Amino acid sequence: MAPELLLDSNIRLWVVLPIVFITFLVGVIRHYVSILLQSDKKLTLEQVSDSQVLIRSRILRENGKYIPKQSFLMRKFYFNNQEDGFLKNTKRKVVPPSPMTDPSMLTDMMKGNVTNVLPMILIGGWINWTFSGFVTTKVPFPLTLRFKPMLQQGIELLSLDASWVSSASWYFLNVFGLRSMYSLILGQDNGADQSRIMQEQMSGAAIAMPADTNKAFKAEWEALELTDHQWALEGVEEELMSRELDLDGMFSKELPTGIF
Amino acid sequence: GHYCLDINVLIIVFTEMRDKLRKWREDNHRNSEQIVDVGEELINEHASKLGDDIWIIYEQVMIAALDCSRDDLAWTCLQELKKQFPGSQRVKRLAGMRLEALEKYEDASKQYDSILQDDPTNTAARKRKISILKAQGKSAEAIRELNEYLEQFVGDQEAWHELSELYINEHDYGKAAFCLEELMMTNPHNHLYCEQYAEVKYTQGGLENLELSRKYFAQALKLNNGNMRALFGLYMSASHIAASPKVNATVKKANVKYAAWATNQINRAYQVTKTNQLPVEELLLRSS
């Protein structure tokens, strides 16, 4: 229904490609800046220790079946005992890390905003101003008219199909689209990955609590209480001897060399 | 080439050498003489081509050099690393290791203490201090320190294994078994831990422990059919139980059956080795 517009090929050369380059370079710069501004997160000894204890308790629940019953019970007792079980009785002082009490959190948030949101807004605005007044590209799927004011900033054509978008939209498309390029060039976990950062900020509320340790202990205690010992080695001899041993290829002439 | 070792090593091209070093690094091989040969040549002849890899190679070669008492090489590597990474804790630890190799235990200990002052969570420095105690033959102290360490870092598997070895040396088999249980839980598919556990139980003796040992020898075999030590262990524990006056007829019968099965498998293994003509000692060494 919409007439096919033929865009000036100059647009391709001087608009589309430059925007791609600009976005990419800005992303790379953002990555290196974020590395420079990164503050080391120092964990206290207690936090490291506690996290390992929780892991050990979990392993006991999951793999306790590989050790003898007595050994399992002994460890369960150590963790869950009424009087002096570790999980039951250890209370840690928990300070919820809100921006007010924890100054480093505040600076982290600020740094995050400066390196990510600010450049995006600035560059987006600049591109909109520089490359305004013409259509940049067409998105391959049809859009409704409601998208027009958003995607066609600066183009005052009422009859133009909403699929034709301005350069600002192309810029934002690039910001998200170049994510995989960043992974290729900067490696995983790079600071230019905008969408990942925004995802993190959203789930950040959940992660920001460095797992309230007391709650974690309580949860482990409950889970461990419910765990029973099902010895995995109950019928191991019968299982083993149900067939001959596989001795193929075991005795080759070469022994691997040691240190000398 | 100035070493009368494997000539092939010297003819290998630069990239092969670098890749070999990387493989050894990733697999945690301790083949120190080979590392020293390859690494020294790489550093001396091809340093410029290595780029940033050179730093981790310096570390790898330095540790290997300490193993081979090549203090000259170790010193060179250390100096390069110190120049590039001044004030690095990782480099400090290497300096401490060199002092250990020279048996200057007091100085090494001070070095590690300084690391711990800056970063009390630095596990490497703590473990090196315990190694010093071990090297000085102070087993009781080493055991005590290692226990304290493990109280804080319950997840350190290397430490659990080290502690089990220390206990075995002190003939404290009960505690060694505890350590091995930790390892079996964190590595349920590792047949070697099952086998070591079974051997400790067997050494402890007594009917209950013999039963446990038989079970864990069986488990080790189940995880790895080729574990000959476990096979012999299975045979011996089953025979012992069968020969014991305290067992009833059913148990005796079952264990005789187990021992017979084990004998069968051992004979099969000998058939294979006869064709390859391996001596018994090598057969026993085959635990993987």
Phi-psi sector, B52: left (phi>0), alpha (psi -120 to 50), beta: alpha
- Residue A31 has a pLDDT of 78
The amino acid at B228: M
A220 by Cβ neighbours in 10 Å (0-12 / 13-18 / 19+) ranks as: buried
| B216 close to A (CB below 8 A) | yes
Size of interface A-B (CB pairs under 8 A): 99
- Residue A187 has a pLDDT of 64
Distance from CA of A255 to the nearest CA of B (A): 9
At A164, phi and psi to the nearest 5?
-85, 125
Distance from CA of B23 to the nearest CA of A (A): 15
For the ranges A79-88, B141-150, B204-213, which has the lowest average pLDDT?
A79-88
pLDDT above 50: residue A175: yes
| B5 close to A (CB below 8 A) | no
Mean pLDDT of chain B: 89
Subunit contact B184:A66, Cβ cutoff 8 A: yes
A1 by Cβ neighbours in 10 Å (0-12 / 13-18 / 19+) ranks as: exposed
Please tell me the distance from the alpha carbon of residue B95 to that of residue B211, in angstroms, as a whole number.
48
- Residue B270 has a pLDDT of 84
pLDDT tens-digit readout, A56-69: 999 999 999 999 99
Q: Nearest by CB to A67, from B121, B184, B265: name it.
A: B184
Please tell me the distance from the alpha carbon of residue B194 to that of residue B212, in angstroms, as a whole number.
11
pLDDT tens-digit readout, A107-150: 666 766 666 777 788 887 887 777 776 777 777 777 777 777 77
Extended beta strands in chain A, E state:
137-138, 164-165
- Residue B276 has a pLDDT of 62
Give the mean pLDDT of A23-38. 78
What residue spans define the domains of chain B?
Answer: 207-280
Phi-psi sector, B87: left (phi>0), alpha (psi -120 to 50), beta: left
Whole-structure pTM value: 0.70
| Contact indicator for A62, A223 with CB cutoff of 8 Å | no
| A55 close to B (CB below 8 A) | yes
Task: Pick A157 or B48 by higher pLDDT.
Answer: B48
% residues pLDDT > 70 (chain B): 91
pLDDT above 60: residue A260: no
Mean pLDDT of chain A: 75
Distance from CA of B210 to the nearest CA of A (A): 13
Please tell me the distance from the alpha carbon of residue A254 to that of residue A205, in angstroms, as a whole number.
57
| B286 close to A (CB below 8 A) | yes
pLDDT tens-digit readout, A181-240: 777 777 655 555 555 555 555 554 434 444 578 888 888 899 999 999 999 999 999 999
Residue B111 CB coordination number (10 Å): 22
| Contact indicator for B272, A251 with CB cutoff of 8 Å | yes
Q: Which of B6, B41, B7, B2 is nearest to B21 (CA)?
A: B41
Please tell me the distance from the alpha carbon of residue B218 to that of residue B211, in angstroms, as a whole number.
11
Report in angstroms the alpha-carbon separations of A13 from A16, A20, A21, A125, A136.
6, 11, 12, 21, 11
Give the mean pLDDT of B195-219. 96
Distance from CA of A43 to the nearest CA of B (A): 8
What residues are paired with A165 via a beta bridge?
A: A137
Tokens of A56: 């050990």
- Residue A1 has a pLDDT of 44
Subunit contact B31:A55, Cβ cutoff 8 A: no
Report the residue count for chain A.
260
Q: How confident is the model at residue A251 (pLDDT cuts 50, 70, 90)?
A: low
Q: Nearest by CB to A52, from B153, B184, B278: name it.
A: B153
For chain A, report the end-to-end CA distance as a whole number of angstroms: 80
pLDDT tens-digit readout, B12-66: 677 888 888 999 988 888 899 999 998 988 888 888 878 888 899 999 999 999 9
pLDDT above 50: residue B145: yes
pLDDT above 60: residue A176: yes
| Contact indicator for A143, A162 with CB cutoff of 8 Å | yes
Q: What is the dihedral of CA B37, B42, B43, B44, to 10 degrees?
A: 90
Non-local (6+) Cβ contacts of B146 within 8 A are B130, B159, B162, B163, B166
At A84, phi and psi to the nearest 5?
-135, 30
Extended beta strands in A88-178, E state:
137-138, 164-165
Please tell me the distance from the alpha carbon of residue B193 to that of residue B176, in angstroms, as a whole number.
12
B/e letters for B236-260, b = 16+ CB within 10 Å, e = fewer, are bbbbbbbeeeebeeeeeebbeebbe
Distance from the Cα of residue B250 to its chain's centroid: 40
Strands A164-165, A137-138: pairing kind = antiparallel
| A73 close to B (CB below 8 A) | no
- Residue B286 has a pLDDT of 65
pLDDT tens-digit readout, A35-45: 776 666 666 77
pLDDT above 50: residue A252: yes
Closest residue in chain B to residue A258, using alpha carbons only: B31
pLDDT above 70: residue A105: no
Question: What residues of A are in contact with residue B215 (Cβ under 8 Å)?
Answer: 233, 236-237
DSSP codes, A74-95: HHHHHHH-TTT-HHHH------
Subunit contact B181:A49, Cβ cutoff 8 A: no
Q: Which of B152, B88, B154, B156 is nearest to B121 (CA)?
A: B152
Phi-psi sector, B135: left (phi>0), alpha (psi -120 to 50), beta: alpha
- Residue A232 has a pLDDT of 92
| B90 close to A (CB below 8 A) | no
Q: Nearest by CB to B258, from A59, A63, A237: name it.
A: A237
Subunit contact B155:A56, Cβ cutoff 8 A: yes
| B203 close to A (CB below 8 A) | no
Distance from CA of B152 to the nearest CA of A (A): 5
- Residue A32 has a pLDDT of 79
Helix segments in B171-227, DSSP class H: 173-186, 191-204, 207-223
Give the mean pLDDT of A253-260. 50
Helix axes A45-63, B139-152, angle to 10 degrees: 90
